[in-house]
Structure formats: C-alpha cells, structure tokens
Amino acid sequence: MSFHVDSEVGLLKQAIVHRPGLELTRLTPANVEELLFDDVIWADRARLEHAAFVGQLEAGGVLVHEFETLLAEALDQTGARTFLQERLTTATRFGPALDAPLDELVASTPAPILASLLIGGVLKRDVAALLHAPSLLMEYLAPDDFLLRPLPNHLFQRDNSAWIYDGVSVNPMAKPARQRETINSRVVYNFHPMFAATQMNYLYGNDSSAHDTATVEGGDITVIGNRAVMIGMGERSTPQGVEILSRSLFQSGNVDTVIVVELPKERAFMHLDTVMTMIDRDAFCVYPFLPAELRSFTLKAMGDGGDFKIEENSELFPVVAEVLGVDDLRILKTPIDKMGAAREQWDDGNNFLAVAPGVILGYERNVATNAYLADQGIRVVPVVGEELGRGRGGPRCMTCPIEREAVSA
Ligand SMILES: NC(=O)NCCC[C@H](N)C(=O)O
C-alpha cells in the first residue's frame, strides 16, 4: 500500500482525523487564547460532534484512521520512544534534572496512556510523585501548571502534515502552541507499520533542523491537480517555507507549477482554506470579500534540480484555469452582504472537505453559503460543529487525506 493525494476533490479513500480527547478538557479561560481556541469547549459535546463527522466520512466510503490510535500503535514500535526521548524529553525543554526521569517515563508508560499524554499534556501534579530529582522547573511550577502543554489543535489534522501527490510534508508549524504536533506526527509516519512498510517520500520537515521562519501549514496547501499545487502565504506559511517546499516538490518530479496566494496576516484568514476551497473539478468556493490587492505568484520549475522562475500574476483564477486546463472555472462567491459573508467565513463557511467531485462536507450553520452552493449543483453534506467550530477550523481542517484519486478536467 502506498499513500498519495492526487487532487483536492477526487474520490477520498483514506484520511487521518483526531478524535478530541483529554486536551479539550484542559482548555480554560486563562489558556484558550494562547492555545489558539476562541472559547472553553464543551468537550463531551465536541466528541459527539466529531464522532458524527467521522460517521459521515465513513458513510461516504472513506477509510478513517484515528490519530491517537496510530500514535499509540507507533509508540510500540522499535525506536519510537528513543525518537521521543531525543526530541521531546530533553534537558533544554525540561532542565537537566528531569532529562533522565522523563526519558524513563517515556520508556515505561503504556503506549495508549503515553499517546494520550503527548496530546493531552501533563500537569506537574500528574508526575510530581514520580520525579524525585531536585528540579528548579518542578519547584517553580504550581501543581496545576503544565509540565507538558496540551495540543488541542491536533483536532486540525490538516495542518501538521500534508500529502501532496506521492510525498508528505511534516510541517514546521508557525505558532508555538502547535509546534509539538509535528513531533507526534513524525512518530506516526516514521514508526507506524502502516507507513513504515511503504516507501515514504518526505518533502519537508522530517528532520530535526531548526526551521526557524521557514514554516508551512497544511491548511495553506491545495493539490489542485495537473502537476500543480496552490499554496497560501500569510500568517502561517512564510515565503521561506513555501520556497523550500516548492523546491522539494519540483525535485520530486511530480509537480511543475506552484501557485502562491498572498493572504492577509489575520486570524480570520490564517490559512488558504479559510478563504477558499476547491469543491469540484471546475469549481472553487471563495470568500466574496477577499481584499483585491492580495497578490499571487506562479512558480514554474526550471530543470529537475528544484530551481524555478517566479511570475507575479495579474489575476489568480485565470492562471488556475489555465493550469487545470478548464475553460470555465467556476468561482463561487455567495451573494451575501459583507457582514453575513464575514460571519460565515469566520465559521468556516469557505472550508469544505470534498469526498468526491462536487460532494462536500461543511458546517450546517453556514446557511447562505450552503444554499447557494446547492443551487450551483454542489451536494453539501451538513456537519454539526457548534463546539468543534470554536477551535476555528472546519471539516477540511479536521481531515488529513492520505489517499485520494486524481480527477480529469
Ligand atoms: N486549516 C485550518 O484552517 N485549520 C484550523 C486551525 C485552527 C487552529 N485553532 C489554529 O489556530 O491553528
């Protein structure tokens, strides 16, 4: 079995999601903002909503893999815990006194519990009785302080890794609250038998370099097809990150065009998929009030060494249409006033997950957009996300496709 994502809208066959766990119960008014959520969440309800969402994916024929389960299974493979000891439970993260005792905890904790803690976080009081070394960090922390912070944004599996044709980028994340997610994803990809048994083509991030400002997040990446990729560049994916990923894509031989779309550096527009998603072989759903002054660039491979030339586009979608070989690309913008559009965009009204061409999952609350798309012949499967949506991510954000068919125009 090898994994590949050859389009954004072709038949979705396999995907990874994260069923929210311990981490959601650790969101408090004091930490939500830092952890990139908008509110404390009703965790049990969010889990029910997520289970219903997974049911909808499965009903659409998608084989769904649960991230925490994959992580637990990976942790029982040879080398996985050493990998964590070298990258997570280090003297620089926790102080020299805790280095060896935490390595020991990583070595001895049963895999399902360890997986839950790696995502859910660890309080000082959870481990105080086990750690006897005189540690300044332990003295400094209060019993309810986090020794290891929770990672509630694992819910948004789209972002920390992204399959692009037959390669995967394990993304260096922009926000400190999300950077550790990549370590967990690397454990899964490097050690889980499902992936270890295949020839993995790592495009970016599967190394322990400091990636500094060269960040990329999967919400910015769309595999539009025809050897092309569209990448948003703004709050999360930087020009440096986009350049490195593009070079790697060009070297892979599967991609010859990257279309880069500038985004406002604002929370509401944190990823490309907050303002537009491809929803059919010839259609994009686009936020109607995207500022006109945003630029886009086309990167074209030159040779096979990763070099490219850059052209600034006068308009984005004619270039996309040309690259896709589609005469009449449909740019679907909900006819709605500015306030209504801003409200639906905030609630992921442009964040759709296609499970097949023209068949998409989106939050039910975006009534105007969903009705408009239905009028345009798109089948919108409504997803309940009253709690899930408070993390500011929709169905596309919650899903990491790992096997998806190509489509022809
Ligand atoms: N692709 C996406 O737009 N993902 C949603 C990410 C939401 C998360 N709370 C974040 O701020 O990173």
3-class DSSP assignment, residue 298:
strand
3-class DSSP assignment, residue 94:
helix
| Residue % of the chain over a pLDDT of 70 | 100
Residues 6+ apart with CB under 8 A from 78: 191
273 lines ligand 1 (CB under 6 A): yes
Q: Which of 229, 324, 216 is nearest to 271 (CA)?
A: 216
158 lines ligand 1 (CB under 6 A): yes
Summarize the confidence of residues 151-171 as an average pLDDT: 98
Residue type, 323: V
Question: With contact defined as beta carbons under 8 Å apart, do 188 and 195 qualify?
Answer: yes
Q: Which residue has the higher pLDDT, 50 or 131?
A: 50
- For 221, counting Cβ atoms within 10 Å of its Cβ (0-12 exposed, 13-18 middle, 19+ buried), the class is buried
- The least confident of 148-157, 178-187, 246-255, 265-274 is 265-274
Write out pLDDT tens, residues 309-345: 999 999 999 999 999 999 999 999 999 999 999 999 9
Burial 74-91 (b: 16+ CB within 10 A, else e): bbbbeebbebbbeebbbe
Cα angle for residues 54, 215, 292 (degrees, 5° grid): 85
Domain range annotation of the chain: 4-66+152-404, 70-148
Give distance in angstroms: CA of 102 to centre of ligand 1: 30
3-class DSSP assignment, residue 382:
strand
The dihedral through the CA atoms of 365, 289, 161, 212 has a sign that is negative
Summarize the confidence of residues 9-34 as an average pLDDT: 96
Q: Which CATH number fits domain 4-66+152-404: 3.75.10.10, 3.40.50.1370, 3.30.70.20, 3.40.50.300?
A: 3.75.10.10
Question: With contact defined as beta carbons under 8 Å apart, do 50 and 98 qualify?
Answer: no
Q: Evaluate if residue 1 carries a pLDDT over 70.
A: no
Give distance in angstroms: CA of 393 to centre of ligand 1: 5
Q: Which CATH number fits domain 70-148: 3.40.190.10, 3.40.50.300, 1.10.3930.10, 3.40.50.1970?
A: 1.10.3930.10
Shortest-distance atom of ligand 1 to CA 158:
1
0.95 exceeded by the pTM? yes
Residue nearest to atom 6 of ligand 1 (CA): 393
151 lines ligand 1 (CB under 6 A): no
